[in-house]
Structure 1
Amino acid sequence: MGSRTGTLLWRAVPAAALVCAIGLLPWLSHTDPALTVLRARSAERDATPEVLAGIRAELNLDDGPSTLLGRWLAGLPRGDAGRSWISGDAVLPTVLEALGASLLLMAAASAVAVATAAAVCARTLRRGARRSLEGRPAGGSGAAVLAALPEFLTASVLATVVGVQWGWLPALGWYGPQWTVLPALALGLPAGAVLGRLLDEQLPGAFAEPWAQAAAARGLPGHSVARKALRRCVPGLLPNVGLFVVGLTGGSVAVEQIFDIPGLGRTTLRAAIAQDLPVLQAGTLVLVVLAAVVTLGVRIATRLLVGPALRDGALSTPHRPVPPGRRVLPAVYAAVPAAVIALGLPRDPLALDTSARLRPPSAAHPFGTDALGRDVLARVAHGALDTLLLALAVSLTALAAGVLLGLLPRFSGPLVDTVNAVPPVLAALLVTAVLGGGPTAPALAVAVVAWAPLAAHTSALLSQERATVHLTATRALGAGPVQLLRSELLPAVLPPVTRHALLRLPGVALALASLGFLGLGAQPPSPEWGLLLAENQPYAERAPWAVLAPAAVLALLGALAVTAAGGPRRPRPRRPGRRRDRAAAGGRALVHEEPVGAG
């Protein structure tokens, strides 16, 4: 009982710290809250000392942040989250209405993500069902392109082409189910591509387990084996599914901005920019509670899918050495961006030519020019160095932090839940408030939240690996905790988590670009990719090359990351008497006729 109480208290500490940090936002940023509120209410009104004093008296700002936070917390048990500093309306109805829109969008985007993930791993399931899989995932690199497409760019293209030019679906507003289709596609396609690739990586190991071999020997239908293999692999991905669900609710700020959706992400962002603390605190608290509910649902689903095997130590490890695949596609994907960077670096990314505005691609300007006549190729190449080096540094930091914290699930679990509830945009605002602006603020903001999915993946794999039969036997032979960690657990967990980090490398670059797109990253005239896309997005119809060029390079880099993610694998050892080993393995497999926990 005491341990459970301590766990609940520890889960409440990060959430309380987050809410308190948000309550201190105006004071951390060393700005006058009264002046910010005045600008949000009316940009034309003069900020005279009398007007500012009246706002301070109206909002009780002179009482200090701790008193204001205490009053806000005291009203929560009564269902009173205060009133907006900008509009004067009650906060709770506004936040709940925004939550309803975000939940509807999240449900539609989740359906798109599930369908996309199913399409990505469908070929592997078919091959595994026919028992023709040889330890290598069959998913193609098309998922890489989907995973690397910026959500805000996909949303812009869908709104412009499908919504405006073709008129098939409404592009702006939020008035019914048909308004959810385009934003759901923009959010669900990248998320489903990443989840599909992660699942596709695990399926070959499941099809190689003894129960699958026994099922094949007994003539069990292939679709039944595929269904059980799917059930065997899904529990290891459920924590990341939960992270995606929460991220789709609070992290879809750019998409909500483009489609004019009154969701929780956009409401929270606007409140943060205007320093409307009651709305910002209520929105963040709702996201934290949603993250806790989703985490609880994930744990229940994992126990139902795995069954008592997780408790009894009766699982087989799905992480097996597989032969390295061909490296033709990664070389191709790497060659094109390398050529773009090599051709663009000698050019001046800041040179203006107002007589050559929005020129189409030509020999002089292979990627065309932007609205100021600057060479797009030069800006893409110079921006690539900043964006990619920064994304690589953030990814390596997130991988190290994710693995270390994932090895301590009781400590990191509450942190993962809380951090995942913070949209990168809000994290960027908090970091900017504390450290000031500059190019390092977006990197720190993304690093603060990028480790959480890797830690959740590490913890999920670790819990299943600790429940395996071979680990129980190794422990019974006298192996200590350090030896088990070094020789058994880390070799099984590190390869898939490293591949996961590679899969997320484009996502990190996209997060950095998203902050630039929203005006929270680099400032003009920097050629950073997010800023590059934001500057050229208004001219997407007239000069699509200015947007498609950086997006295409980013998609190729995403394809490179995904195809290269198959690289960190241990080679399959060659042993003499391989046929005898296979026969023996087949004989032992007859003992295990069903996947443990498959029901």
Structure 2
Amino acid sequence: MCAIGLLPWLSRTDPALTVLKARSAERDPTPGALRAIRDQLGLSDGPLPLLGHWLGGLLHGDGGRSWVSGSEVLPSAVQALGVSLMLMAGAVAVAVCTVAAVCARTLWLGSRRRPGTRRPGGTGSAALAALPEFLVASVLASVIGVQLGWLPALGWYGPQWMVLPSLALGLPAGAVLGRLLDDLLPGAFAEPWALAAAARGLPPRAVARKAVRRCVPGLLPNLGLFVVSLTGGAVAVEQIFDIPGLGQLTLRAALAQDLPVLQTGTLILVVLAAIAGALARLGARLLIGPALRDGALRSLHPPAPPARSILPLLYGALLAAVIALGLPRDPLALDPAVGLQAPSPAHPFGTDALGRDILARVAHGALTTLGIALAVSVAALVTGLLLGLLPRLSGPVADTINAVPPLLAGLLVTGLAGSGPWTPAIAVAVGAWTPLATHTSALLQQERATTHLTATRALGASEWYLLTRELLPAVLPPVVRHALLRLPGVALNLAALSFLGLGAQPPSPEWGLLLAENQPYAERAPWAVLAPAAVLALLGALAVAAAGGLRIPRLRRPPSSHPTALTDRPPAQTAPEPPHTPVLTPPGN
């Protein structure tokens, strides 16, 4: 909250001038007018007295008055929160249905003990997870809302108005969660209780239901982050559908430097994040609490050989071909005579409104977009893994950072570091590690309660041995796959911040800029949007396919001639897994 309170002064602009322009764009910023605003709002006293006055008012249920409109802040913030919670509920329902669709094949095969449940595919879900929410919202609004007229596309007046925005938010998020659940299910179906249940003739539907219950605790923390991000981070979707939610309210307040509204909205998001995080952790303990306490779990990530598939090579070849074909072309050459031209041999991806070749812009934008996105993803992965090892420290921090909308984080980073080409990268990296750290903590908690780890610890293994030989090899593959699944989203967040003036500027051919620039022409020239979106979806499919067979072997030391301690022996001799007694229900039932 202190950083939020400093935002007007970090922006290196006169807060009185920004407030004056927000109140009336036509009014001249005379010295007298600016001085009157400073005296009225107390800007001359500095940020700390203003923050103290606002906190004192909160103790009495007063969030202050808007610097722009003069109305009370708390009623409008509570009303916007209600709208965001309704939208969040609809998006969660859509996400649950999407998760069920993504995992349907694995559930069907696993519950019937069919081979091939672990696969590197999932192209459709990977492509859906890579699509930006604002692009899905634009397509739904223009096609279903405007052209077909099946559902309303603007406003917020009843249940019908929440269908399209719920789809725009829930489909990509459900694809991400579905991929994470699909990664855990094969390990659950390989546990002794599942084998015993199948041998006893338990209905496949019951086995599948218990397998989902076994895997859900590892996903609950990420589900909590997803719920909070739907409330404060759905700014683009709220703007497209004209929804008066909390995310849009907070962003408008940040741009207008309306400090009371900004602080109140951010505080509500932080409180909501704390509640969601606490409920997620409580839910995980309620589902498998006794098993966690007694160390009665089995690892959901047993060692397995890498999956053999030509899909990564195929997707990589397609992406490389697109870049190679577009690099010889000029991405900045203007030709208004061929503006919005359909795909043709001369312009395979068509042209934009200024007549620039879209293939050339996609290819040249890949060099910077993918390079920076990969660097940010690696930094987020390393940070998430390290902080995930310290859940008591990283948990509250991750909840708080996740509550801040990405655009607001970009404004804060810009205020501290200034505008530049690396500003979006820093802003995205600030929050990109939170889902990975949460995922790491959840998986580590379950791995620490596995039977083979309990036996290894009882035989005298050190904590360092357990971490490097057992825990990290089991946790790294799913977390790395998670990081790769979010790589396209990182690329989009980078370009979205650049489009807002916080980094690279037009005519830079970044992929997110291409989507944002061509979005107004989606009805007249759909190829202008579909071409960069298809390449982005191809990147998501490549990332998931390449990580599908990722396995990290457990480290082994050469056997010593005179072993003196457990840590000096080969893992195969020191940590024999005790025989499991088959049960008919997963741990925690």
Report the TM-score, using the length of structure 1 for normalisation. Answer: 0.92
Cα distance in 2 for partners of 1:465, 1:478 equals: 18
- Work out whether residues 63 and 264 of structure 2, in 8 Å CA contact, stay in contact via their aligned partners in 1: yes
- Helix, strand or coil for the counterpart of 2:333? coil
Structure 2 residue 71 is matched with structure 1 residue 89: yes
Q: Aligned pair count?
A: 569
- Work out whether residues 123 and 139 of structure 1, in 8 Å CA contact, stay in contact via their aligned partners in 2: no
Task: Give the C-alpha shift of residue 504 in structure 1.
Answer: 1.0
Output one character per residue of 1:124-159: Cα deviation in whole Å (capped at 9) or x when no partner. Answer: 111111011455148631101110111111111111
Q: Which of 28, 32, 57 in structure 1 is aligned with 2:14?
A: 32
Task: Give the C-alpha shift of residue 591 in structure 1.
Answer: 4.0
Q: Which of 547, 554, 568 in structure 1 is aligned with 2:529?
A: 547
Output the amino acid matched with 1:320: P
Structure 2 residue 539 is matched with structure 1 residue 557: yes
Output one character per residue of 1:441-493: Cα deviation in whole Å (capped at 9) or x when no partner. Answer: 11111100000000000000111111111111111111111111111111111
Structure 2 residue 374 is matched with structure 1 residue 379: no
Cα distance in 2 for partners of 1:152, 1:357 equals: 24
- Work out whether residues 120 and 548 of structure 2, in 8 Å CA contact, stay in contact via their aligned partners in 1: no
For 1:580, the equivalent position in structure 2 comes to none
Unaligned runs of 5+ in 2: 556-575
Cα distance in 1 for partners of 2:180, 2:357 equals: 38
For 1:153, the equivalent position in structure 2 comes to 135
Note closer, same or farther for the CA distance 1:151–1:493 as it changes in structure 2 (3 Å cut): same
Unaligned runs of 5+ in 1: 1-18, 574-584
Output the amino acid matched with 2:508: S
For 2:497, the equivalent position in structure 1 comes to 515
For 2:43, the equivalent position in structure 1 comes to 61
- Work out whether residues 121 and 139 of structure 1, in 8 Å CA contact, stay in contact via their aligned partners in 2: no
- Helix, strand or coil for the counterpart of 1:565? helix
Q: Which moved more, 1:563-572 or 1:312-321?
A: 563-572
Structure 2 residue 222 is matched with structure 1 residue 240: yes
Output one character per residue of 1:332-364: Cα deviation in whole Å (capped at 9) or x when no partner. Answer: 222222111111111111111122221111222
Task: Give the C-alpha shift of residue 572 in structure 1.
Answer: 11
Structure 2 residue 426 is matched with structure 1 residue 444: yes
Task: Give the C-alpha shift of residue 522 in structure 1.
Answer: 2.5
Task: Give the C-alpha shift of residue 221 in structure 1.
Answer: 1.8
- Work out whether residues 109 and 188 of structure 1, in 8 Å CA contact, stay in contact via their aligned partners in 2: yes
Q: Which of 313, 320, 333 in structure 1 is aligned with 2:302?
A: 320
- Work out whether residues 6 and 47 of structure 2, in 8 Å CA contact, stay in contact via their aligned partners in 1: yes
Task: Give the C-alpha shift of residue 306 in structure 1.
Answer: 0.6
Output one character per residue of 1:94-124: Cα deviation in whole Å (capped at 9) or x when no partner. Answer: 1111111111111000000010001100111
Alignment of 1:443-592 (within 5 A): 443-570=425-552, 588-592=579-583
Structure 2 residue 190 is matched with structure 1 residue 199: no
For 1:41, the equivalent position in structure 2 comes to 23
Output the amino acid matched with 1:21: A
Output the amino acid matched with 1:427: A
For 1:79, the equivalent position in structure 2 comes to 61
- Work out whether residues 522 and 531 of structure 1, in 8 Å CA contact, stay in contact via their aligned partners in 2: no
For 1:180, the equivalent position in structure 2 comes to 162
Output the amino acid matched with 2:462: G
Q: Which moved more, 1:321-330 or 1:220-229?
A: 321-330
Cα distance in 1 for partners of 2:108, 2:522 equals: 40
Output one character per residue of 1:512-535: Cα deviation in whole Å (capped at 9) or x when no partner. Answer: 233345554431111111111111
Structure 2 residue 276 is matched with structure 1 residue 285: no
Q: Which moved more, 1:467-476 or 1:113-122?
A: 467-476
For 2:107, the equivalent position in structure 1 comes to 125
Q: Which of 192, 200, 204 in structure 2 is aligned with 1:222?
A: 204
Output one character per residue of 1:269-290: Cα deviation in whole Å (capped at 9) or x when no partner. Answer: 1100111010110010000000
Cα distance in 2 for partners of 1:436, 1:383 equals: 23
- Helix, strand or coil for the counterpart of 1:308? helix
Cα distance in 2 for partners of 1:30, 1:513 equals: 23
Alignment of 1:373-452 (within 5 A): 373-452=355-434
For 1:596, the equivalent position in structure 2 comes to 587
Task: Give the C-alpha shift of residue 310 in structure 1.
Answer: 0.8
Note closer, same or farther for the CA distance 1:591–1:169 as it changes in structure 2 (3 Å cut): closer
Task: Give the C-alpha shift of residue 255 in structure 1.
Answer: 0.6
Output one character per residue of 1:345-390: Cα deviation in whole Å (capped at 9) or x when no partner. Answer: 1111111112222111122211111111111111111111111111
Output one character per residue of 1:153-172: Cα deviation in whole Å (capped at 9) or x when no partner. Answer: 11111111110011011111
Cα distance in 2 for partners of 1:432, 1:114 equals: 36
- Work out whether residues 238 and 302 of structure 1, in 8 Å CA contact, stay in contact via their aligned partners in 2: yes
Note closer, same or farther for the CA distance 1:258–1:518 as it changes in structure 2 (3 Å cut): farther
Task: Give the C-alpha shift of residue 69 in structure 1.
Answer: 0.3
Structure 2 residue 254 is matched with structure 1 residue 263: no
For 2:573, the equivalent position in structure 1 comes to none
Cα distance in 1 for partners of 2:148, 2:326 equals: 35
- Work out whether residues 117 and 196 of structure 1, in 8 Å CA contact, stay in contact via their aligned partners in 2: yes
- Work out whether residues 473 and 553 of structure 2, in 8 Å CA contact, stay in contact via their aligned partners in 1: no
Report the TM-score, using the length of structure 2 for normalisation. Answer: 0.94
For 2:285, the equivalent position in structure 1 comes to 303
- Work out whether residues 123 and 138 of structure 1, in 8 Å CA contact, stay in contact via their aligned partners in 2: no
- Work out whether residues 471 and 488 of structure 1, in 8 Å CA contact, stay in contact via their aligned partners in 2: yes
- Work out whether residues 120 and 307 of structure 2, in 8 Å CA contact, stay in contact via their aligned partners in 1: no
Output one character per residue of 1:551-573: Cα deviation in whole Å (capped at 9) or x when no partner. Answer: 11101111111112213125799
Structure 2 residue 61 is matched with structure 1 residue 70: no
For 1:163, the equivalent position in structure 2 comes to 145
Cα distance in 2 for partners of 1:521, 1:205 equals: 43
- Helix, strand or coil for the counterpart of 2:301? coil
- Work out whether residues 151 and 190 of structure 1, in 8 Å CA contact, stay in contact via their aligned partners in 2: yes
Task: Give the C-alpha shift of residue 190 in structure 1.
Answer: 0.5
Cα distance in 2 for partners of 1:570, 1:480 equals: 21
